[in-house]
Amino acid sequence: MKGVLAFACFSWILSLFFVPSLAQGPPYKAVNLGAWLVAEGWMTPWLFDGIPNKDLLDGTQVQLRSTMLNKYVVAENGGGSNLVANRASASGWETFKLWRVNETSFNLRVFGNQFVGYQGNSVVAVATTPGPVQTFQIVRNSNDKSRVRLRASNGRYLQAKSESAVTADYQGNINDWGDQNPSVFQMTTFGHLQGEYQLTNGYGPTKAPQVMKNHWNTYIVEDDFRFLSQNGINAVRIPVGWWIRYDQSPPKPFVGGSLQALDNAFTWAEKYNMKVIVDLHAVRGSQNGNDHSGTRDGSATWGDSNIDETVAVIDFLTQRYANRRGLAAMELMNEPNAQFVPLDTLKTFYRKGYDAVRKYTANAYVILSNRLGNAPNTELLDFARQLPKTVIDVHYYNLYWDQFSSWSPQQNIDYIYQDRAAKLGELTQPNGNPLTFVGEWVAEFAKGGASTQDYQNYAKAQQDVYGRATFGWAYWSHKCQYEHWSLRRMIENGIIKP
């Protein structure tokens, strides 16, 4: 009898260890730790406050109007030829993207991706990579920063004496900022990017490491995991950038140290019995052109030539965390855009990335993000069925499209219960492979004026529908300057109850 009792007690003790880990399987109620290890300035604008000329970061788009001619500077044919100043209005060919060299010096990239430089006195856009001849100092008027001169590396300034040519040979009175001075231009800026590249390159190699380390150490801390675990959240999705693979010495301008922060996240998650989804949010070359993809100027050039390097990032991360009990899944890429990433190329990468994960673990799920844009909802379904323990990630925002801009709260709620539920149902498989994951959603309306009750109803509708996802859902995000984008504030204010 004593033996039976001893066995029963032993079995009960074992259950204390094994039941919690079994209970940590999907579906998950998760939250994204956005703007932590991959910067997103719209969420944390204060991080950029200390950057000199912070309105002239990498990727800022500028248009230059000659004050004397009252015409815009343009790269003829969008690039590959001279610059002239003969346009009455500005569009693509009259727009230049900045590459920041330092706080006052820049390269100017034209529509066709060449860089503005000079040959003799002529200003041209023919170089495919920038050098000293393609570097210009933007000198701003102290009383009106939109009035500028561009100083070339030959020490002279650009001028537009006639509509037919822009030249780099002005040596006149630089104290004259009047409209009739041919070296004075009115500069309009727009399309400001606020990603990791802009942040670290904006501060430069001396100050950026200090800023980033302080942010990583204070923005997300152990108490956040305690709070989440106490409020029904059992997983976190953590966006990371490709540069994390290089730990302390990533390619410039990125800063080392985010890997330690990710290590901390695993430790905290495991302490509070939570799971971690590692999400490769930014890949070299950019998969969508958004600032949170690590792009320098909004270009998206990720493709076949980037596959092996991107797989190496997945390999590195999986090898590091495969034996951590907190690891739930590796997400191979966030939000590839159908406009830039062909499906066949993406599948090739997904297969290689899947194999890289499986080298180290048979248990972690592998998440495949659906493409954004004009792509069928189910285009990855047959592919994913062939790979055990895969997940298809969809992101559902009732934002960004014109159709949502005038909708009432009830129209948004009806759309969740009808359209979103149907889309999710198309992906849901009876045999559970692949699983489905609503990896990003938010209780925010495109149209303002909603009441607290509206937000509560809207959040509940999304939880009802996205709760059907077989891998679970992840709110965007845990913290944000805007209340409805911060799950922590939504929970504290009683709007969301996970």
CATH of residue 232's domain is 3.20.20.80
Total structural domains in the chain? 2
Are 382 and 461 found together in one domain? Answer: yes
Structure tokens at 331: 């997400």
- Rounded-to-integer distance, Cα 472 and Cα 483, Å: 23
- pLDDT tens digits in sequence order for the chain, 498 residues long: 444 344 344 443 333 333 333 347 999 999 999 999 999 999 999 999 999 999 999 999 999 999 999 999 999 999 999 999 999 999 999 999 999 999 999 999 999 999 999 999 999 999 999 999 999 999 999 999 999 999 999 999 999 999 999 999 999 999 999 999 999 999 999 999 999 999 999 999 999 999 999 999 999 999 999 999 999 999 999 999 999 999 999 999 999 999 999 999 999 999 999 999 999 999 999 999 999 999 999 999 999 999 999 999 999 999 999 999 999 999 999 999 999 999 999 999 999 999 999 999 999 999 999 999 999 999 999 999 999 999 999 999 999 988 899 999 999 999 999 999 999 999 999 999 999 999 999 999 999 999 999 999 999 999 999 999 999 999 999 999 999 999 999 999 999 999
For residues 440 and 476, state if they share a domain.
yes
- 281 and 186 co-located in one domain: no
3-state secondary structure of 270: helix
What gap in Å lies between CA 391 and CA 417, rounded to an integer?
22
Residues 205 and 353 in one domain: yes
On whether residue 16 sits in a domain, the answer given is no
Q: Write down how long the chain is.
A: 498
**Domain match, 201 and 177 both:** no
Last-in-domain residue among 162, 190, 218 = 190
Collapse the DSSP code of 103 into the 3-class scheme (helix H, G, I; strand E, B; otherwise coil) and give the result.
Answer: coil
Residues spanned by the domain of 167? 61-190
pTM: predicted TM-score of the whole model, two decimal places: 0.94
Domain co-membership, 68 together with 41: no
444-474: pLDDT as tens digits: 999 999 999 999 999 999 999 999 999 999 9
Q: How far apart are CA 42 and CA 273, in angstroms?
A: 31
Which of 138, 165, 190 is the endpoint of a domain? 190
Same domain? For 128 and 178 the reply is yes
* Domain closes at, from 164, 190, 216: 190
* Domain-embedded: residue 12: no
Amino acid at 134: Q
Q: Is the same domain home to 244 and 273?
A: yes
Q: Across the chain, how many H-helices and E-strands are there?
A: 11, 20
SS3 assignment, position 49: coil
**Residue 1 forms part of a structural domain:** no
Instruction: Judge if 209 and 324 occupy the same domain.
Output: yes
With respect to residue 6, please indicate whether it lies within any of the assigned structural domains. Answer: no
267 and 151 in a common domain: no
Q: What is the CATH number of the domain that holds 86?
A: 2.80.10.50
